Structure 1
Amino acid sequence: MATGSHAGWHSDVWSSLYYGCALRLLASLCFLLIISGIETNPGPGPSTRQAKISTTGELVTQKSIDNVISIEEIKGMFSSLSQQIKKSTEVLRTEIEQLRHEGSENHKIMNETVEKLKGENRLLLTKVRYLENQNRKNNLIFWGIEEISETESKEVSEQKVRQFLVNKLDIECAVSDESLQIEDIFRIGKKKTNDTGSQDMRDNGEMQQKPRGILVKFGRYKHKRIIQTAIKGKKDRISTVRISEDYSSEVREARKALMCFSDELKLKNPDCKTLLLFDSLKVGSDIYRFKASDKSIFCTNGPQVASPDQ
């Protein structure tokens, strides 16, 4: 009895194990079918852009793909823009070099033009000064002839000059204009007091003033030469009157400086012989000129010398 019971129990156990394993196997198959995600009819495949898979195996979305394309496009735009900037920079550099070269050439041409104009200006200035001195060629200035009034007429001034020429220089032809023609005559400068600063009084009590010079323009150069020749040997008779050439301001400045220079030379060497000729000074065989730009005196056939003021 016991044996029969034991055999029946044993059979029931094996049956239970068999059916349990079968059920578990079936359940496992069903589970595998469920989780496998296999579709019996998957349908048409996804679009090409949607089918792109990232390196991680994940599906790349439409938005991320668009972003990737936009960045690539921007990079291309930057690359193209960089190339354009590079080309523009090269063109600009070439134009700058060309302008610099043209500017250098223009500067050179301008300097040459300026120097040429300076030379022409110096030449014109020399001609103007020459013409001015030629216009003064027949002129003489009489200093020290009495002046009674500032409103002295030309007729009165001419009468005084002619009387001086006849009485002091014995020039008889100076009586009439036919023999000694005077084209123009007038007082020059402003009324000045005596150089001493004293207030000399006339008999009527009026203050004595230094007379202004009388500029006389003779009709012919030889009439002027008659007077200059007559002065020689009669300086003692005309001690109160001085007669000088009518030079331009530039020539007067040069002559004044050259006369000072001549005095300095004579102080150093009393035997030194000098001769003032228009705007130059002759010392032996050397000719000295005055340079107005730096107030210096130079030898035309030798080295420059110091200004007479030094």
Structure 2
Amino acid sequence: MRYLKNGTLKSLMIATFISLGLASCSDDDSSEATTGGTANMTVRMTDAPGDYDEVNIDVQDVQIKVEADAETEADIDSDGWVSLDEVETGVYDLLELTGGISQILADSEVPAGYVSQMRLVLGTENTVVVNGESKPLNTPSAQQSGLKLQLNQELEEGENYAFLLDFDVEESIVAQGNGGFSLKPVIRLSADADAGIVIGKAVIPAAIETNVQTLVKLSNSSATISAYTDAEGNFALNGVPAGTYDLEIIPEVSSGLTVFAVSDIEVKPNETKDLGELEL
């Protein structure tokens, strides 16, 4: 088992998102069939913020559910699931994957055609660190069959597709009455298709000499995308659908700083919207 941290993290600027819940996903499939050729699929993982020391996820496999024809049937199990080639298995701290950083999980050729679902299969080494204490994350459904996400996309032969699995840690970890924690992932799936990126820098007043943890949240009636700033105050919000948004920069309460807000930020397709330096 490899424990992967900063050394393998790569930046990713990606596009349009499809909001997802998790399991309670339907197993209904399209009647369309694959073409017999292949498409390239890249899958990366990133994180929306959460108030923990570490959130370690044990990734064992990434699979897609396809409609198979005779030429690709040998690569697909009886239920239509196929594992992506050379998945980067290992234990990843999701809290290392913020501020525009992501981790590649797979880059492989897959059968072209209609893909109804994706699922992320986790192992047993899932933990959360709270106040310096490591505790196991209960993830029974992930260990048995994987976390199912609705994809519902036609992959055309010879084309390249990139997807981003964006964990919402704050919503995904549930405290139990016995002091334990369970993982019930809330994941936003972003696809490389005409979305934008919002970047900028939150500037802390010079009078404040300590580091201030700052949450950046971009939202409108249909989407909320968030990330923490890095040590220099920089942030990157990926996979932003075209539209008009409100931005909030929320410093930690102990800093004494108020929330900084900007309204009517327009994000265009395939645009990198640079908000520049925002003084809190």
Alignment TM-score, normalising by the size of structure 1: 0.25
Q: Indicate the structure with greater strand content.
A: 2
Greater Cα radius of gyration, structure 1 or 2 = 1
Alignment TM-score, normalising by the size of structure 2: 0.27
Q: Indicate the structure with greater helix content.
A: 1
